Structure 1
């Protein structure tokens, strides 16, 4: 589980603790027991600050692949550039192959399976690409943020981010927080 997702899982729990501590403080105050209410209010303030800190961490957490992807050239960036400029750019043969794959995925509607990419590569170049070699290239491209794995679909890639997916990250079930002492397994969220 990524750090951002684990932070996200705890925020509702911490907010529930704020409400619980405030409720206990109100109950003690209603009974006229200010001495007992004060620690509850203090803990509520601490949980409130913790929730604010967790939300700030969540907002600040950005996948490094997004930064790396924003610094990379895309096939669209290179369209219509003069040959003299193209020679000045540091674009390797591997980069050109990555650009071709990105164009092929876009040509297939922006989403394509490994098999569709293999067929499209053959039709475009006449070369038969080894499946495991292409799979490794697609994995590297998704790790760099050039393409994205489609959520919950193995071997399916897109050229644009799909909600619920992380660059290069397999999708996991959301983690449910439960009270280990509660035998019913009730959800804490």
Structure 2
């Protein structure tokens, strides 16, 4: 049966000391199908939310980034081996700026807009409707896994999409993602 092989694990190491940090389960084909199924269900719920509701959730992430920045820097440094200053400036500050922008601007950007129509349609109304794509797959690299993973996931979330996040197996940052997703039930449902 496809995807029913015995469970194996991927070891996550600290790159400087080679210390074993933790293990993550390797995902089977059946589990991947289940994640996609859950994401398709989540997209239905996401369609019922407003841009303002999603922006309020993103504000919770922004507050988390500010309140937990030292812990975030420690966790990212532990898994990536990058310097604390590089992480603070390149990841934490950048993620906070991006989350702030999304929270402030996405509701206005996503509103339906009236647009001028062609002369042949005089008397008719033309509008642009912004619609979610449905399910968005985010794949983040090992070196800036948090910044790319979070920004892409929050952007897709802000637009009303469900997200399947596939972080690098070398730097999955599972403790951070666990904390972020626990900030709001909508995040837990929307981001797989």
TM category, shorter:
under 0.3
Max Rg structure: 1
The structure with the greater share of residues assigned to strand is 2
Q: What TM-score results when the alignment is normalised by the length of structure 1?
A: 0.19
Structure with greater helix share of residues = 1
